[in-house]
Amino acid sequence: MKSQDETLEEWCRALLQAYELEDVQVDVNAILSLAGVAAHSVVRPAAPLTTFIAGFAAGLASGSGQATDTASMSAAMDVARSLAVDYDSASAGTPAE
């Protein structure tokens, strides 16, 4: 039986292949960590939304030649993580509505 990590790596490779992105390196743990920060700092459904938008932003930056794939992904995830952490800090003192 495959472990969760093995399954995720296999799934990631299958997705990359389907999109003809076999040469793109994806740090699955970094993406899952970003999703965790968004889920705990904002709300749970923010996790897939955050990772999708960060990936989209990275793709636009990389596709336009602004930066390499790796630098684009790193920068996009850094922005999303920072916003999520700041969102949590900003909302910590706010009463629930």
Structure token digits, residue 9? 């790596």
Query: pLDDT for 26-56, tens place per residue?
Result: 999 999 999 999 999 999 999 999 999 999 9
Structure token digits, residue 48? 């897939």
Q: Which domain holds residue 34?
A: 27-92
**Residue 21 included in any domain:** no
- Compute the Cα dihedral for 12, 13, 16, 22 and give only its sign: positive
* Amino acid 17: pLDDT: 97
**Residue 17 included in any domain:** no
pLDDT beyond 60 at 94: no
**Residue 3 included in any domain:** no
**Residue 74 included in any domain:** yes
**Residue 50 included in any domain:** yes
**Residue 66 included in any domain:** yes
**Residue 82 included in any domain:** yes
Query: pLDDT for 53-79, tens place per residue?
Result: 999 999 999 999 999 999 999 999 999
pLDDT beyond 50 at 96: no
* Amino acid 15: pLDDT: 96
Domain count, the chain: 1
